[in-house]
Amino acid sequence: MNRQRMSLCLVWILGCSADATRPAPRPSTSSSTPSLVATASAAAPPAPTLTPARGQEIGLVFEAFLSPHQEGDEEANTPKTTPDKFRATTPSKTRAEREAAGHRAHGQLRFTNDLSRAFIDVAIEGIDPKQINMFHIHCGKPGILGPILLDFAQTTDLAENLADGSFSVEVRNEHIVATSGHAHGVVDAFTLGCVIPSPSLGTMTPSKVSTIAGMAQLARDGELYFNLHTTGHTYFGDIRGQIHQVDD
C-alpha cells in the first residue's frame, strides 16, 4: 500500500517537472498574419501627360487698384534734398482733391507659366495723359517708397501708349535689365533695381533682379506696386496701387 502511494507521488512529481520544462508552443503562422514583403504584382501609377507648350500659356495673375491714398505722403512734403528731376513742375493737388477729381486706375499683371514673359494692362481714369511723365513698377511694402524694378519708358513710348488712357505692354528679361542698367550716379544706384534677400547669399552683395521669374517672386511676396507719376506729383506719385495675386 505504501509502495503504491510512493509510485503515485513519483509520477505526479515527474509530471509537474515535465510540464515546467516543456518548451512553449511556437506561435501560429496562419495566413491571417500580414506580410511585410511587398508583392511584385503592384503596378506603378501611369506617368502624367506633360505638355511643354503650355509654358507659353498664362499662369499667375496679379492686379492692383491705384488710388491717391496709397501714396506715402503729399507732394508738398517732398524732401528738400530731392533732385530736381524728381520734383513737381506744375501745381499739385492733395490726395483728397485727386480722389475727388476721379484719379484712379486698375492694373493687371499676368505671367506665362514658364516665366519668360509678363503682360501688363492698366486702365486709367481722371488723369490727363499729357501730364503723365513717369510710370513704374516699384518694389516695396505699402506706404514705403521703394526702388524701381521696371521703368515702362524702357519698354514702350509712354506718351503714345497712354494717349487714350489705357496702357498695355509685354515685358521680358531684357526690359528689367535695361531699367537697372539705366542707372547713372549714386542716386540712380539706389533708386533703380530691386533685390530678393536670400540667406544663401550670406555676406555677399545680393544681385539685382534681372528676370521675369524674379519679378514673379517679388509679386508673390507682396513686394511690388504700380506708381503713376505726373508733372504735378513727381516725387511721391499721383496714384499708386499695391500688386496682389488674384484668387481663382
pLDDT at 11: 45
Report the alpha-carbon distance of residue 92 to residue 76 in Å, rounded: 8
Report the alpha-carbon distance of residue 97 to residue 74 in Å, rounded: 11
- Global pTM exceeds 0.85: no
| Spans of the chain, pLDDT less than 70 | 1-41, 182-190, 198-206, 248
Lookup: cell for 44 = 506603378
Helix pair 173-181, 212-220: axis angle to 10 deg: 90
* Cβ(131)–Cβ(90) below 8 Å: yes
Phi and psi at 127, nearest 5°, equal -120, 135
Report the alpha-carbon distance of residue 193 to residue 207 in Å, rounded: 9
pLDDT at 217: 95
pLDDT at 22: 53
pLDDT at 114: 97
Cell 496562419 found at: 30
Question: Which residues neighbour 228 within 8 Å (Cβ) at sequence distance 6 or greater?
Answer: 66, 105, 124, 127, 132, 134, 135, 237, 238, 239, 240
Q: What is the distance between the terminal CA atoms of the chain, rounded to a whole angstrom? A: 101
Phi and psi at 66, nearest 5°, equal -85, 140
Cell 539706389 found at: 190
* Cβ(212)–Cβ(224) below 8 Å: no
Report the alpha-carbon distance of residue 9 to residue 17 in Å, rounded: 12
Encode pLDDT of 198-225 as tens digits.
Answer: 666 555 566 889 999 999 999 999 999 9
Report the alpha-carbon distance of residue 91 to residue 75 in Å, rounded: 10
DSSP class of 164: T
